[in-house]
Every structure is written in C-alpha cells, then in structure tokens.
Amino acid sequence: MNKYYSTKLSIFVFSAPALILFTVFCVYPLLPEILMSLNNHDGFRTLGFVGLDNYKDILASASFWTAHKNTYLIVGISVFMGLPLSLMFALFMDVQTPKLRRFFKTSAMLPAILSVTVVAEMWISFYEPTWGLFNSILRSIGLESWTHSWLTEKNTVMPSIGLTFLWQYIGLNAMLFYTGIKTIPKNYYEAALIDGASFTQVCLRITIPLLQDVTKYVLILSTLGSMAFYSQVRVMTAGGPGDLSRTVIYQMYYVAFETSEFGKGTAIAVVFILECLFISFLIQRFVAREKLEF
C-alpha cells in the first residue's frame, strides 16, 4: 500500500509543474473570455450582463452556419485529399536516389515556409478571370465554357481557397510522414524482400500500419490547422462575396472587430474551442489507440 501511494505521489510531484503551467497559460486565459461571452461588450467596456443571449444569437445566425460549412469543407479537403496525397508523396520520396530525395524535400518544404500573404497573392493571380493561369489554360484547349470567376462565384470560391491551402501544406505533411517512414526498422523490409513482397504489398502491410502514430499526429495537426483557417480567406476574398467564404475564425473576427460585438465574438470563440476539444477527443479515442513499439 505504501508503495502504491508513493508511486502516485511521485507521479503527482513530477507532473505538477506541467499542470501548473498548463493551467496558468491555457486554462486561466479562457476564463475572462467566457465571462465576456456572457456580457454585452463593445471591446472597451461591459454594457450589461446578457447570460446566454449571445450564444442564442450566434446559433440563430445564418452566417454562423455558413462559416461552419466552409470550415468543415476545408477540413474535408485537408484530411480526405491532403493526407492521402501527402502519404503518397512521402512513399515516393523514400524510393528515390539521395540526390533526387534532397530535391523533393526542398520542394516539399518551400510552400510551407513561404508567407501566407505571398502564397495567397500568387494564387489570386492564378484565379484571375481574364488573364489568370487556370482560365488561360482552359481557353487554350477549347474549354472556355469551363472558365470561372473563381473567387467571386458561390460554387467555386471555397474549393479555390481550399486548393491554395492544400498546396501550401501538403509538402509539410509529406515530410512528417517521411520522417515516420525512416523510423521503421529496416529488418521488416528485408524480411518482406526475402518473401518476394511487391512495393504495394510492403506499403499496405508494413509501412502504412506502422505509421499509425504519425498518422494520428498529422491528422490532429491537419484537422485543427484547417479549423483555424483564416489568413488565406482574409487576403484572397475578405470573406466575400457577401459572407460566402467566411470561416468560423473569420466570422469571429468579423463579429468582434467589424461590428464591435465582442460578446458575440467571444461566444463564437468559446463554441469553436469546444468543437476543437471534442474533435481532438474523437481522434485520440478512435485513431491509433494502441502504442506501437519497434
């Protein structure tokens, strides 16, 4: 019994500094925001306690749900398109010669280290209706009917912005997968080679299953990063046309700073934090539940 309590005490003593820092820098700053979300606040002073009225108002707002639809569209593009493409890119890099591998590593990381503003402005020029790259290519191959004003049409604005986001970070995720591949012991591959396994069989039976911890990390990073999508929207469309390209973060910014309704803005922020926590819990609960040991 004494051994049991001494072990628990040791765990508490060694984890206490991290818990204190987490509480001070992560939990405590949320308390004033929650309080503000329960008040009518203009950014400078509290104008009165309104309880849950701010939450009722934002949940009744059509723009709030449009922002959610756009946010989860970006999440879907990032997860269901970006992760498979990143994994395939990582597998492709792994079988290249050292010289080509260095080239692809540099190419993969370059978009991620560029400023979001630079990337957004570059893609704005690609989407330009008159002389932009995409419409020019479509006209040159006789598909002028397929041209669009990509950033001002309802059906194309969010996929266009999502493609920009996907291009910028697909290489970063590929490098994370590639790093995970390099941690897999070589003896697994040597045994598969002796058994005559093909490249596809090695990928499906060895590489991908043993990357589950890395996949879980990249999934969390991609999902939460996509949910915090803001900068590209701000630069490329400023939330337009109308409110059709606003994301949750942009809607929070718009309500708080453009309309000076900071109470409602912080209410959106609180709802957003709860959504992120819930999604993180689901990923932690259902993805890569067993710890792999090589």
Question: 39 pairs with which residues across the strands?
Answer: 49
CA pair distance 61, 66, nearest whole angstrom: 9
SS3 49: strand
How, if at all, do strands 46-49 and 39-41 pair?
antiparallel
b/e per residue, 140-177, with b = 16+ CB within 10 A? eeeeeeebbebbbeeeebbebbbbbbbebbbbbbbbbb
What are the structure tokens assigned to 44, written together?
A: 């400078």
Q: Which DSSP string do the residues of 64-97 spell out, in sequence order? A: HHHHHHHHHHHHHIIIIIIHHHHHHHHHHHHTS-
pLDDT in tens, 100-153: 999 998 888 899 898 899 999 999 999 999 999 999 999 999 888 899 999 999
CA pair distance 161, 182, nearest whole angstrom: 33
pLDDT of residue 1: 47
Enumerate residue ranges in the chain where pLDDT < 70.
Answer: 1-6, 288-294
CA pair distance 185, 193, nearest whole angstrom: 14
Query: Please, what are the domains in the chain?
Result: 48-286 (1.10.3720.10)
pLDDT of residue 292: 65
Indicate the pTM of the whole model.
Answer: 0.86
What are the structure tokens assigned to 45, written together?
A: 């002073």
